[in-house]
A and B are shown apart, each in its own frame.
Chain A
């Protein structure tokens, strides 16, 4: 597959622009990635970055409440937004005929969103329902992305609940929203990605037309979220009132994807060798041979691979019967990691996992929406959307020795162990 053409520019107000044509599709996507995620929200306002994402859909100077949804969908498009550790994205995919309309809609809310008390109260209620739906009312809600970080990390940015506590969400004020917008939603802190059926010159002209007169504001200073590597094992238990079976999550630190991408990819492939497919090592050992766990998985990145800056988390999660002591699960995982740390995977074993990864990357690239979001996120986080196109080759170049080293790194560093326990008597 040929690498996508990437066209870049930066507007005078600091907004970064990435345009990626694809003549084969009838649809076009527009994404705005803003360089603020839940790691940047202030203490006392957990969940604010996500709550603010909701507010950005609630109207702007040119568009009353509900108009954004109606215009996107009434043009035949779909939309969404999401809040991650280090960024918040807003996107729409539409028939190509609606390109200028999409650019207008994104520009208008980045220029002058209408932040009102009524919408703030309404969206606090909606976000609370989202949290009830995804966390409070279901088994294993927030496992492991909310529950594991406080075991592995010490600092507020890395350890706190990105969905937020109800009491802190309820205290959020319009003043908070205005300060958050002016600080983080400056054009110099954002990036627009346009992908799909488009003409590059015309698209750049339309981007300039709609986003160009957003007044420049300084980009905020981005702090480091680095913290020392943990030493030893840290363990915590939580009770889950809805869970019928216990679960366990292990969290480890990973190399910095920005400065050591190949080390990071070694961990990503270690995750596959451990967990992807019936032949993967933890599947074979813990699920099928020892029968210790019901299901197990291993992966790089708390919210997926290459989705955050440093520090990020390598996770292993499993659900197991109550009769199995979690220490037996840990011991079996450690044994498998020790084997890999001593011998590494075989060349063929690694090649099979690389083939699966490549196929998965092709599938991601087959949809305009995912291709656009992948390019946009990598451009924002690492300054190189090219990483998306290079990934198959870079993964193919990862050696068994690098995967061995990744396993050894997990065994020699500290880790967080989270135990989820069903409520007594259930």
Chain B
């Protein structure tokens, strides 16, 4: 179509020399992880700091356990997060942003049923300024009336946009299906609930729940760790509270059951979301489960992906993974497929779940998954932000950099048999529950015919 004289597809795929051998791998380099300095400040805030030069930046992650049982909690928490950076006793919204920008810094706040997180970064030599703004909003945010009113309207609008996303609809349905009405399911409040929040509620929640005890601050970058911790102590000394941050209770264990069919009119794709119990990182079988998950659907070269994408063309992506919840972990099996192939895609998904239990991973499959687990860990930690996020997540789970350092060896020592055992226990089709979201008028008959599904 573009050149008048070109070779045929057949000619293009052949050379005189013929196929060539794959070169071997060279020697492996170890994961260079810095030491992490750690201290609990007098106000109860735990601070972790690591020297990671390379670029003259520092990454910051503050994690505050932020659970709440009251029905209005998610709406108040969202509005609190939206107005945290909009005013303090001495700075207004623009002043806060100007001060951050002057040192190349950004701060962002987000909240979920488990924690409130303030994440950001800035030029390393601006760390005192970044910490100054952070401490100011933690101790003296005023949540000004006008800002709360405006952010409340915006939040209602943003929620309407988010709820139009199929992935949001599917996530909500899955959370309800696997955790009932436990607070962990309340990831996004309704617009009505947000509209009813008062400024007094926002300020009261800030005073009661945005507290240092039980919270963790991670700093990674071109910094001196001891000095950085001293700077944090100086900046946040006025951030105090008698009560500790609120941990989310453990959600109920997943009960295997039929999938729930959820109707979304006019959908041209369906969301398949299956879930089963899994293991925390602390469990001695965790590494084996991690490898079993990779072989099933945890990376591109997995059985499920190769089947439903590269063989059948049902989907652009199919992914399984381990998600951590308080006190435990769950497996998630997720893909989006066109309406007309929803039933066949579900059939293949169940087939692959059955197959990994009945036809366990081979040594070659396990070795490939192992190399990927080690290598992708290395790659994810090759930058300050990746290391900071990982340290923050591990700290929340009571683990430190030693766990990270030892993990490649843990992955290396897992046997093929251990992976097979993990696959049998955790991927058995009988362990799962979940949802299928789509246009029930189009997909319903064929999906129901497969059995194991309830709903409209």
What residues of chain A have their CB less than 8 Å away from a CB belonging to chain B? Answer: 1, 24-27, 42, 45, 60-62, 65-66, 69-71, 73-79, 93-101, 104, 108, 111-116, 121-130, 132-133, 136-140, 174-184, 197, 213, 220, 241-245, 277-279, 284, 287-288, 291, 294-295, 319, 321, 351-353, 355-356, 358-360, 362-363, 365-369
A283: nearest chain-B partner, CB-CB:
B97
Q: Top 8 nearest A-B pairs by Cβ distance? A: A76-B375, A125-B313, A359-B104, A74-B368, A352-B101, A182-B6, A278-B97, A115-B9
- Tell me the bound Cα distance from A349 to B167 in angstroms: 39
> Which residue in A96, A104, A128, A183 is a CB contact (below 8 Å) of B22?
A104
Known: A24-B54, A319-B161, A366-B57. A129 touches B375 (CB 8 A): no
Q: How would residues 291 to 302 of chain B score, 1 for a CB under 8 Å from any chain A CB and 0 otherwise?
A: 000000001110
Q: Determine the distance from Cα of A108 to Cα of B7 in the docked complex, in whole angstroms.
A: 17
Contact call B13/A278, Cβ cutoff below 8 A: no
Contacts of A353 in B (CB 8 A): 101
Q: Are A25 and B267 in contact (CB under 8 A)?
A: no
Question: Do B98 and A352 touch across chains, with their CB atoms under 8 A apart?
Answer: yes
Q: Which residues of A sit under 8 angstroms from B18, Cβ to Cβ?
A: 61
Residue B122, interface by CB 8 Å: yes
The segment from B61-69, B321-329, B377-385, B447-455 that touches chain A is B377-385
Q: Determine how close the nearest CB of chain A comes to the CB of B335; give it in whole angstroms.
A: 10
Known: A26-B382, A78-B376, A126-B316. A66 touches B301 (CB 8 A): yes
Spell out B's residues near A (CB within 8 Å): 1-3, 6-9, 11-15, 17-32, 53-57, 85-86, 93-94, 96-98, 100-106, 121-123, 150, 153-154, 157-158, 160-161, 163-166, 266-269, 299-301, 306, 309-317, 336-338, 367-368, 371-372, 374-376, 378-379, 382-386
Neighbouring A residues of B300 by C-beta, 8 Å? 69, 73, 79
A278 and B121: CB pair below 8 A? no
Given contacts A76-B371, A129-B313, A367-B386, 4 further A-B contacts (CB under 8 A): A101-B25, A121-B313, A183-B6, A244-B160
Min CB gap A361→B, angstroms: 9
Q: Given A78-B376, A359-B105, does the pair A182, B150 have CB atoms closer than 8 Å?
A: no
Chain A residues in 8 Å Cβ range of B311: 122
The CA-CA distance from A288 to B163 in the complex, in Å, is: 23
Q: Are B367 and A74 in contact (CB under 8 A)?
A: yes
Please measure, in the bound complex, the distance between the C-alpha atom of A244 and the C-alpha atom of B53, giving whole angstroms.
45
Contact of B97 among A73, A101, A132, A279 (CB under 8 A): A279
Contact A100 B2 (CB under 8 A): no
> Is there contact, CB below 8 Å, between B23 and A69?
no
Bound state CA distance, A273 and B28, in angstroms? 46
Shortest CB distance A353–B (Å): 7
Contact yes or no, A138 B166, CB < 8 A: yes
Bound complex: CA of A116 vs CA of B96, how far in Å?
58
A183: chain B residues at CB < 8 Å are 2-3, 6
Chain A contacts for B30, CB-based, 8 A: 26
Closest CB in chain B relative to A101 CB, distance in Å = 5
Q: Which residues of B lie under 8 Å from residue A362 when comparing CB positions? A: 55-57, 104, 123
How close is B410's CB to chain A, nearest CB, in angstroms? Answer: 15
